[in-house]
């Protein structure tokens, strides 16, 4: 409550926290593929790519908090791609989105990040 | 793999009610404050002065509190008591966020203690991880992340900076791992193994069901005998599935049979084992068209269908891993749930029997040299 609004009241700050949550889940997904990668060579590549993506998201979240415009652009691209992919997969009869957890993780959080990024941009414009 | 437990379903309604009530409460307060009602003005001022990040963290803690209280009726004994304490604690801290200076540290401790307690309960088998519980932990993890951002470190030494950078991902990893271990160590009766959900059936087969199961086995064996040679199967329209270094069994699928329902003359797939002498026909697989649509089970508990769920499937070959409890898969793979399937093993499948979801490990080792 006693923090100054300038450091904590920004949409970018909240968006960066949600991106860190997403990055942490990506990190776990990448690490969890490693045992399968022992017998499935394809998953070695997927595990490494996922861990690298996760590291990239941590970095983007950090730079979003510092007000870097390129981090904002990369995150918008990533979140739109993530949402589009989830929407596409949910149309297929393969049970990709089933229950509250996938809705929260794969739809609501990316959507919230996009809304917050849009709000952060309008905040920045007003400040300018 | 993670469903919604029947006694947890009410918590989803409680979450929606909490959100609507909270929103309505804030609107009502603003309405009263605009009319200069003294107590409403006193309550609204600190709320309006709080930063958005505090408001969101408080809202998530109130939501978690509401969820915990809604879950109390389905939990007896110590668990129910802890849910009451936890729920009231979250509501108290959620309100304290707007009126006190000291709320942040207790809130962090409360969130961490709640998440750790859930992991302990799940690993000990006192609670089955389901989507409501996991969604609740997700809400708490996000609240924890927000509270950690609110910290205002006075000393910026490198160990503190490293701890601040790694604490949250570490907590997320521990939570995921704990739920996973608990789910795999204590699967419920309908989960044959990780990633397979069994059709609910009666405990004992009637004599009629035993006869029907034997007939299905005999009819299937007679029908697919013509496909001992894989070339004959390919000529009949069965397409070999990709070779997997992880799975010594190969499924040959026939898309033309997709709409047939438990028809021994038109099975959806043939199953071959990769032996040292080449492919050996070991069974057939019947499959329905949609996930959740259980097929006819003439043999009752003897012919129990199963569907695979929570699988991260990679289109770059027949490769898979398990999705995390937070429903995430490695990049390049996607979570899938297959339509229900029923295997009919035409070889002696040991103690698992002719309709088991999996080939008996000993039989598989004898056939393929791998388990």
Reported ipTM: the value is: 0.90
Instruction: State yes or no: pLDDT of B147 exceeds 80.
Output: yes
Q: Which residues of A touch B141 (CB under 8 A)?
A: 21
CA of B211 to nearest chain A CA: how many angstroms apart? 34
Question: A82: which 2 tokens?
Answer: 């993530």
Instruction: State yes or no: pLDDT of A1 exceeds 70.
Output: no
**Contact status of A10 with chain B (Cβ, < 8 Å):** yes
B371: which residues sit within 8 A by CB, 6+ positions away?
B361, B364, B365
What phi, psi does B369 have (nearest 5°)?
80, 5
CB atoms within 10 A of CB A39: 13
| Contact predicate B262/B296, CB 8 Å | yes
Q: Which of B158-172, B311-325, B344-358 has the weakest average pLDDT?
A: B311-325
Instruction: Determine whether the interchain pair B53/A17 forms a contact, defined as Cβ–Cβ distance below 8 Å.
Output: yes
Q: In terms of residues, how long is chain A?
A: 128
Instruction: Determine whether the interchain pair B4/A106 forms a contact, defined as Cβ–Cβ distance below 8 Å.
Output: no
pLDDT digits (tens, 9 = 90+) for B198-242: 888 888 999 999 999 999 999 999 999 999 999 999 999 999 987
Instruction: State yes or no: pLDDT of B367 exceeds 60.
Output: yes
**Contact status of A6 with chain B (Cβ, < 8 Å):** no
CA of A122 to nearest chain B CA: how many angstroms apart? 16
pLDDT of B63? 95
**Contact status of B183 with chain A (Cβ, < 8 Å):** no
Q: Which residues of A touch B332 (CB under 8 A)?
A: 45-46, 49-50
Instruction: State yes or no: pLDDT of B243 exceeds 80.
Output: no
pLDDT of B161? 83
> B52-71 and B9-34 are packed helices; what angle lies between their axes, rounded to 10 degrees?
140
Q: Which of B46, B291, B317 lies nearest to residue A93, judging by beta carbons?
A: B291
Collapsed DSSP state (helix, strand, coil) of residue B159: helix
| Contact predicate B15/B67, CB 8 Å | yes
| Nearest residue on chain B to A36, alpha-carbon basis | B321
| Nearest residue on chain B to A35, alpha-carbon basis | B321
| Contact predicate B264/B220, CB 8 Å | yes
Report the alpha-carbon distance of residue B53 to residue B143 in Å, rounded: 9
| Contact predicate A68/B264, CB 8 Å | no
Question: B302: which 2 tokens?
Answer: 């003897």
What phi, psi does B94 have (nearest 5°)?
-60, -40
pLDDT digits (tens, 9 = 90+) for B50-78: 999 999 999 999 999 999 999 998 888 89
pTM of the model: 0.85
pLDDT of B144? 96
Q: Which residues of B touch A39 (CB under 8 A)?
A: 245-246
| DSSP string covering B187-204 | --TTEEETTEEEPP--SS
Q: Quick one: CA torsion of A14, A19, A21, A24, rounded to 10 degrees?
A: -150
Quick one: chain B helix, strand, coil %, rounded to 5? 55, 15, 35
Indicate the pLDDT class of residue B113, thresholds 50, 70 and 90: very high
CA-only gyration radius of chain B, Å: 27
pLDDT of A7? 42
DSSP label of B276: T
**Contact status of A66 with chain B (Cβ, < 8 Å):** no
Chain B residues 292-321 within an 8 A CB cutoff of chain A: 292, 309, 312, 314, 316-317, 319-321
Q: Which of B131, B145, B290 lies nearest to residue A21, judging by beta carbons?
A: B145
Instruction: Determine whether the interchain pair A3/B2 forms a contact, defined as Cβ–Cβ distance below 8 Å.
Output: no
Chain B residues 204-263 within an 8 A CB cutoff of chain A: 244-246
Instruction: Determine whether the interchain pair B173/A24 forms a contact, defined as Cβ–Cβ distance below 8 Å.
Output: yes
Report the alpha-carbon distance of residue A111 to residue A80 in Å, rounded: 8
Instruction: Determine whether the interchain pair B314/A43 forms a contact, defined as Cβ–Cβ distance below 8 Å.
Output: yes
**Contact status of A56 with chain B (Cβ, < 8 Å):** no
| Nearest residue on chain A to B130, alpha-carbon basis | A101
| Residue in B300, B280, B286, B140 with CA at minimum distance from that of residue B208 | B300
Q: How far is CA B307 from the centre of its chain?
A: 13
**Contact status of A115 with chain B (Cβ, < 8 Å):** no
Indicate the pLDDT class of residue B371, thresholds 50, 70 and 90: low
**Contact status of B79 with chain A (Cβ, < 8 Å):** no
Instruction: Determine whether the interchain pair A99/B320 forms a contact, defined as Cβ–Cβ distance below 8 Å.
Output: no
| Contact predicate A17/B149, CB 8 Å | yes
**Contact status of A71 with chain B (Cβ, < 8 Å):** no
Report the alpha-carbon distance of residue A88 to residue A91 in Å, rounded: 5
Q: Please, what is the average pLDDT of chain A?
A: 87
pLDDT of B338? 86
| Contact predicate B304/B198, CB 8 Å | yes
Q: Please, what is the average pLDDT of chain B?
A: 89
Chain A residues 24-53 within an 8 A CB cutoff of chain B: 24-33, 35-36, 39-43, 45-47, 49-50, 53
Report the alpha-carbon distance of residue A63 to residue A73 in Å, rounded: 11
């Amino acid at each position: 409550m006693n923090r100054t609004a300038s450091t904590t009241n920004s949409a970018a700050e909240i968006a960066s926290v949600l991106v860190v949550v997403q990055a942490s889940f990506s990190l776990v997904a990448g690490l969890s593929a490693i045992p399968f990668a022992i017998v499935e060579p394809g998953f070695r590549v997927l595990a490494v790519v996922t861990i690298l993506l996760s590291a990239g998201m941590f970095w983007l979240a950090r730079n979003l908090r510092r007000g870097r415009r390129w981090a904002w652009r990369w995150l918008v691209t990533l979140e739109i791609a993530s949402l589009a992919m989830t929407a596409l997969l949910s149309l297929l009869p393969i049970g990709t989105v089933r229950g509250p957890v996938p809705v929260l993780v794969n739809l609501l959080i990316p959507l919230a990040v996009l809304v917050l990024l849009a709000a952060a941009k309008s905040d920045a414009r007003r400040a300018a | 793999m993670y469903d919604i437990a029947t006694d947890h379903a009410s918590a989803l309604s409680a979450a929606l009610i909490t959100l609507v009530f909270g929103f309505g409460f804030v609107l009502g307060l603003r309405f009263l404050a605009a009319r200069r009602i003294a107590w409403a003005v006193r309550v609204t001022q600190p709320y309006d002065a709080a930063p958005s990040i505090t408001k969101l963290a408080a809202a998530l803690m109130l939501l978690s509190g509401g969820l915990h209280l809604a879950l109390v009726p389905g939990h007896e004994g110590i668990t129910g008591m802890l849910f009451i304490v936890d729920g009231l604690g979250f509501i108290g801290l959620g309100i304290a966020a707007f009126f006190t200076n000291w709320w942040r540290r207790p809130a962090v401790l409360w969130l961490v203690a709640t998440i750790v307690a859930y992991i302990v309960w799940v690993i000990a088998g006192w609670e089955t991880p389901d989507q409501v519980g996991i969604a609740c932990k997700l809400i708490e993890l996000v609240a924890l992340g927000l509270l950690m951002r609110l910290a205002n470190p006075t000393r910026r030494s490198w160990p503190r900076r490293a701890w601040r950078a790694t604490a949250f991902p570490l907590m997320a990893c521990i939570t995921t791992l704990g739920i996973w271990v608990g789910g795999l160590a204590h699967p419920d009766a309908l989960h044959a193994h990780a990633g397979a959900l069994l059709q609910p059936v009666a405990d004992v087969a009637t004599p009629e069901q035993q006869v029907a199961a034997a007939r299905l086995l005999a009819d299937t064996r007679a029908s697919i005998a013509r496909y001992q040679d894989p070339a004959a199967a390919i000529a009949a329209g069965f397409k070999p599935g990709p070779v997997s270094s992880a799975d010594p069994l190969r499924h040959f699928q026939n898309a033309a049979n997709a709409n047939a329902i438990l028809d021994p003359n038109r099975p959806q797939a043939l199953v071959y084992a990769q032996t040292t002498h080449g492919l050996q026909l070991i069974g057939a697989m019947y499959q329905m068209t949609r996930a959740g649509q259980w097929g006819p089970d003439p043999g009752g508990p003897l012919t129990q269908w199963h569907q695979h769920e929570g699988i991260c499937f990679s289109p770059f070959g027949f490769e898979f891993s398990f999705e995390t409890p937070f429903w995430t898969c490695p990049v390049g793979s996607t979570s899938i749930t297959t339509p229900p399937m029923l295997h009919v093993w035409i070889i002696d499948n040991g103690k698992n029997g002719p309709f088991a979801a999996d080939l008996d490990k000993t039989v598989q080792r004898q056939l393929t040299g791998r388990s």
